[in-house]
Amino acid sequence: MARRIDGGHKERRTMANINVVNLGGSKVGEFELSDEVFAGEINDALLWESVKHYRAALRQGTAATKTRNKVSGAGKKLWKQKGTGRARVGSIRTPLWRGGGTVHGPQPRSYEYAFPQKKLMGALRSAISAKINDGKFTIVDSFEVAEAKTKLFRTALNKLEAGKTTLLVESSRKLDEKLYLGSRNLAGVELVLSSEVHPYDLLRYEHAVFSKDAIEALQETLKKFVSKRSKAAAQKEVA
């Protein structure tokens, strides 16, 4: 299984096959996890970066303050410059006075920033490996049910021991209307596509349930972003 980066001795471990079950919890097969993808180290720092990027993009960025040209009040000089004994002042809207404008205050802006795709894929690999290591990862052969009933999916998740919060991941090619309608009203359950799943989703939910088609598609995508060093290490283990 994969291990976390802690600055200690580096050791690369092979990944074992993971059971594939049906919605009743019975084993129907096995899925071979790729060593070059999931046997690497779990990079906590990269996971933190991906979550920071995701949450930054969620910010509305609507905070705004009024400068002196936006606050109400006349622009007329209140009294003459000299001879009154009072401090000189040009406008009632001056930032020095209560009710005046704000200097260098926040203005509406986007907090989103670019995040390299290779780092995002690396964080996704680490998030899946962490779920597998914690025993919070399940692969089902299919999400197909007879009817689009919430009760059917609630029963299935209970049999899978999916916990209080669950992330369902399905392949975009296999997405069924019954799955969407039957799972949307379940509390603590979210359905995402394998092409759209984010490390933040995997970290946010206690348990992840992937369809076999979804994990196959995602594994093939992650293989394209594996570093040459990881590929060489995986091939060396096989040899």
Q: What is the pLDDT of residue 25?
A: 85
pLDDT at 15 over 80: no
Q: pTM score, two decimals? A: 0.79
On whether residue 30 sits in a domain, the answer given is yes
* 191 bridge partner residues: 168
* Amino acid making up residue 230: S
**C-alpha closest to that of 180 among 155, 218, 144:** 144
Q: Where does the pLDDT of residue 38 fall: very low under 50, low under 70, confident under 90, or very high at 90 and above?
A: confident
Q: What is the pLDDT of residue 228?
A: 61
In angstroms, the Cα distances linking 153 to 139, 146, 167, 212 are 15, 11, 13, 17
On whether residue 149 sits in a domain, the answer given is yes
Do residues 123 and 47 make contact, with C-beta atoms less than 8 angstroms apart? yes
| Shared domain check, 183 and 147 | yes
pLDDT at 13 over 80: no
Q: Where does the pLDDT of residue 83 fall: very low under 50, low under 70, confident under 90, or very high at 90 and above?
A: very high
On whether residue 181 sits in a domain, the answer given is yes
On whether residue 6 sits in a domain, the answer given is no
On whether residue 40 sits in a domain, the answer given is yes
Q: What percent of the chain has pLDDT over 70?
A: 88
Residue 209 lies in domain: 18-59+113-238
- pLDDT tens digit string along 96-138? 999 999 999 999 999 999 999 999 999 999 999 999 999 999 9
* Amino acid making up residue 28: V
Q: Where does the pLDDT of residue 7 fall: very low under 50, low under 70, confident under 90, or very high at 90 and above?
A: very low
Range 39-49 average pLDDT: 90
| Shared domain check, 171 and 101 | no
Q: What is the pLDDT of residue 35?
A: 83
* Last-in-domain residue among 105, 132, 165: 105
| Shared domain check, 164 and 80 | no
Q: What is the pLDDT of residue 11?
A: 47
| Shared domain check, 130 and 54 | yes
Checking DSSP bridges between strand 137-140 and strand 207-211, what pairing results, if any? Answer: parallel
* Mean confidence (pLDDT) of the chain: 86
On whether residue 177 sits in a domain, the answer given is yes
Q: What is the pLDDT of residue 33?
A: 87
On whether residue 189 sits in a domain, the answer given is yes
Q: DSSP string of 104-162?
A: S------------HHHHHHHHHHHHHHHHHTT-EEEES----SS--HHHHHHHHHHTT-
Q: What is the pLDDT of residue 72?
A: 92
Q: Where does the pLDDT of residue 10 fall: very low under 50, low under 70, confident under 90, or very high at 90 and above?
A: very low
| Shared domain check, 121 and 41 | yes
On whether residue 12 sits in a domain, the answer given is no
d(CA 46, CA 57) in angstroms, rounded, equals 17
Do residues 94 and 14 make contact, with C-beta atoms less than 8 angstroms apart? no
**C-alpha closest to that of 146 among 111, 176, 185, 112:** 176
